[in-house]
Amino acid sequence: MDWAQEIDSLALATAERLARQHVGVVVAAVADGHVGFAGAGSAGGTGSGTPGADTLFEIGSVTKTFTALTLARMAVTGAVELDEPLARLLPDGTAVPSRDGQDITLRHLATHTSGLPRLPKGMMLRALLRPRTPDPYADCTADALLSGLARTRLRSAPGRRMHYSNLGAGLLGLALARRAGITYGELVGSQVCAPLGMSDTLVAAHATRPGRLAQGHDRKRRPTPPWNLADLAGAGGLWSSATDLVSYVRAQLDGGPAELAEAIRLSRQVEHRSTRFTWMHLGWTAHRLHPRQGAHLQIWHNGGTGGFSSFAGFDPETGTAVIVLSNTQRGVDAAAFDLLRTLQGRVCARDAS
């Protein structure tokens, strides 16, 4: 078996492993410039077949990396500044919480160091009152978000600690779109997707790609409706395909096209250390494996919605990457990390031979 066939085989083995507990899954494995795609299970819906590289899935919180790269590109062009206060990009009179004399900046939102809670004010109460609501984020309009923001208390001073926040990432997307004067979907499309030729990464997938959408399923494999994150879309509102996401991570591996190269560099230059071995870039989580596991670098983000789960991870040191998309609300991280670590080890072994 040659190297390209081995990559294909590893992708297929991972897809088949995940399909035992997921309705459908697509896996992409990238190494030494080769991409192996594999699908398993069902895309869902009546008469649908096995999902493929161009099937569209909700990617959930992987969206946050697009929001952060959009911030980086706008910072490079001077449209915003990384350390610009969030309040400057919101409507006049919006009350934005602060703590210990520190204002929330755009950098804080993209690195989850704003101190904001995970969810918008009142969202948990609404979920408890309406436990069967299929889309918990449907009411997250700009008016609701900004009204709740005024009553929000920060968990820590901005810039001090990392607290993962869907609210913070959603506010970042909302703020950047307001500064640009267009919708969040249009903004990400122009700033990130167009330079990379990613025509299938978008918010309103139902309107333009209805025949290619995977059907989401809950953990019991029951069909679920899609989520509409309204004005919190920057936290998790994108749909995408394995083909598009391979283009996305390849740009992270090779530096990307000229229009994005400086923004990609900036997004990775920014670091907020959580521990000795883990840290945040703009949008991406990163860690280095223990020496017994190869000491490899892994930069990644996962995602989950009411009917989907996702993973995008890469290592610029070995030129490897993994994409996993599932139409089931069940995590894919363990299998994705296993595949990425295997690719990293195989590349290093080949280079040493």
Q: Domains in the chain and their CATH numbers? A: 3-352 (3.40.710.10)
- From the list 20, 147, 47, the residue with the least C-alpha distance to 93 is 147
- From the list 142, 318, 310, the residue with the least C-alpha distance to 241 is 310
CA distance 336 to 342: 10
Q: What is the chain's pLDDT, residue by residue, as a tens digit (353 residues)?
A: 688 999 999 999 999 999 999 999 999 999 999 999 999 999 986 557 999 999 999 999 999 999 999 999 999 999 999 999 999 999 999 999 999 999 999 999 999 999 999 999 877 555 544 555 677 888 899 999 999 999 999 999 999 999 999 999 999 999 999 999 999 999 999 999 999 999 999 998 877 788 899 999 999 999 999 998 999 999 999 999 999 999 999 999 999 999 999 999 999 999 999 888 899 999 999 999 999 889 999 999 999 999 999 999 999 999 999 999 999 999 999 999 999 999 999 999 888 87
- Tokens in use for 125? 């109460």
- From the list 87, 84, 103, 104, the residue with the least C-alpha distance to 95 is 87
CA distance 239 to 150: 31
The confidence score (pLDDT) of residue 127 equals: 53
CA distance 160 to 217: 38
CA distance 276 to 231: 35
Cα 58 to Cα 41, 188, 203, distances in angstroms: 17, 16, 9
Residue 61 near residue 234, CB atoms below 8 Å: no
Q: What is the tally of helices (H) and strands (E) in the chain? A: 12, 10
The crossing angle, in degrees rounded to 10, of helices 258-269 and 242-254 is: 70
| Other Cβ atoms closer than 10 A to 269 | 10
